[in-house]
């Protein structure tokens, strides 16, 4: 197994174990026995998001049952810079492709996850140098309190320069930023 993940309450973590990002993500897809060919068209940020949410769902089956209104609140440091650089090199080599350009926006990973799980709900993508537990917990609390979502997936998902990291958790009630910090530890 190339990727380790820790169960901690309802959280999941995918950590990198080598410099072979593409291979690691592909192996994880096969480890999980996913049957979702669209996966192979995605950039690495989206692949990581699809894998992370799949793990989260499998670790928390009962929790997600009958939940339709699932909010997604993500943050990262590198936005979509990984795909931005690929598009940039396409510009230099006259090989610009819409299949790359479409991934030069960080929120597309939320779109891909929403499509896979048919979640038609709130989604937001923040960018910051470090994970902002206060911000993420505040917005999750707002969505739950106003019943704009019944469960939120909150997390940090970053891919850049052959490095990646994902930490996700699911919450269905108000959390303080310290509680969120524990869930995403």
* Residues in 68-107 that interact with other proteins by CB under 8 A: 77-79, 81, 84-85, 87-88, 91, 96-98, 101-102, 104-107
For 104-111, the CB contacts below 8 A with 24+ separation are 104/80, 105/80, 106/45, 106/74, 106/76, 106/79, 106/80, 107/74, 108/45, 108/46, 108/80, 109/45, 109/46, 109/48, 109/49, 109/74, 109/157, 110/49, 110/72, 110/74
**CB 31, min distance to other proteins, A:** 25
- Residue number, 2 or 105, with CB nearest to other proteins: 105
Q: Does 47 bind other proteins (CB under 8 A)?
A: no
Q: Which region, judged by CB under 8 A, interacts with other proteins, from 2-10, 29-37, 48-56, 145-153?
A: 145-153
- Vertex 160 angle, CA 156 and 165, to 5°: 35
Give the binding-site size for other proteins (rule: CB under 8 A).
46
Q: Which residues bind other proteins (CB under 8 A)?
A: 77-79, 81, 84-85, 87-88, 91, 96-98, 101-102, 104-108, 110-112, 114-115, 117-129, 132, 135, 138-139, 141-142, 145-146, 148
């Amino acid at each position: 197994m190339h990727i380790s993940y820790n169960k901690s309450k309802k959280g999941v973590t995918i950590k990198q174990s080598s410099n072979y990002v593409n291979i690691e993500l592909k192996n994880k897809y096969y480890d999980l026995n996913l049957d979702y060919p669209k996966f192979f068209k995605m950039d690495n940020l989206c692949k990581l998001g699809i894998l992370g949410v799949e793990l989260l769902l499998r670790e928390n089956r009962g929790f997600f049952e009958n939940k339709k209104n699932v909010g997604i609140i993500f943050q990262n440091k590198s936005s979509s810079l990984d795909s931005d650089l690929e598009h940039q090199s396409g510009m230099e080599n006259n090989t610009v492709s819409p299949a790359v350009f479409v991934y030069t926006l960080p929120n597309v990973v939320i779109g891909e996850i929403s499509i896979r799980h048919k979640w038609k709900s709130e989604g937001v993508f923040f960018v910051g140098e470090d994970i902002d537990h206060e911000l993420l917990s505040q917005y999750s609390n707002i969505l739950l309190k106003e019943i704009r979502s019944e469960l939120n997936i909150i997390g940090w998902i970053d891919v850049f320069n052959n490095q990646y990291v994902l930490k996700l958790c699911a919450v269905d009630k108000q959390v303080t930023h310290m509680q969120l910090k524990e869930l995403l530890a």
